[in-house]
């Protein structure tokens, strides 16, 4: 008997009956003098919509222009579309050189 669309959806969204927790990394590049504002932005925007911040780190940006702030966020049932909306809100703020995100491997 073929699976119904609802059964297929449930199988995609869960592992053994529990919701899948997705993990993402969001990287903001800013000038050193904008680091405090960028950290504040991460805390304000990335903790909405079911996302949970687990780490923020800083390092010199590739190419030597500015600082890369890397934030690791997780969310149960969070979609990439939801994360994309949060990243778009961040990218609309002034003072950022680059904003990007990537999905991390599921464990």
Confirm whether 70 is domain-assigned.
yes
Mapping DSSP onto H, E and C, the string for the chain reads CCCCHHHHHHHHHEECCEECEEEEEEEEEECHHHHHHHHHHHHHHCCCCCCEEEEEEEEECHHHCCEEEEEEEEEECCCHHHHHHHHHHHHCCCCEEEEEEEECCCC
Looking up residue 70, the CATH number of its domain turns out to be 3.30.70.260
Confirm whether 8 is domain-assigned.
no
pLDDT in tens, 36-93: 999 999 999 998 878 899 999 999 998 888 999 999 999 887 788 888 999 999 999 9
User: Domain range spanning residue 87?
Assistant: 20-103
Count the domains in the chain: 1
Confirm whether 62 is domain-assigned.
yes
Confirm whether 69 is domain-assigned.
yes
Confirm whether 91 is domain-assigned.
yes
Confirm whether 6 is domain-assigned.
no
Give residue 79's pLDDT.
Answer: 80
């Amino acid at each position: 008997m073929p699976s119904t669309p609802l059964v297929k959806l449930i199988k995609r969204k869960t592992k053994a009956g529990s919701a899948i927790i997705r993990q993402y990394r969001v990287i903001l590049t800013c000038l050193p003098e904008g680091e405090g504002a960028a950290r504040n932005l991460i805390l304000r925007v990335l903790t909405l919509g079911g996302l949970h911040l687990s780490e923020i780190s800083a390092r010199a940006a590739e190419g030597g222009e500015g600082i890369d702030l890397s934030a690791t966020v997780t969310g149960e049932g969070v979609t990439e579309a939801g994360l994309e909306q949060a990243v778009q809100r961040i990218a609309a703020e002034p003072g950022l050189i680059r904003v990007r995100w990537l999905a991390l491997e599921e464990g």
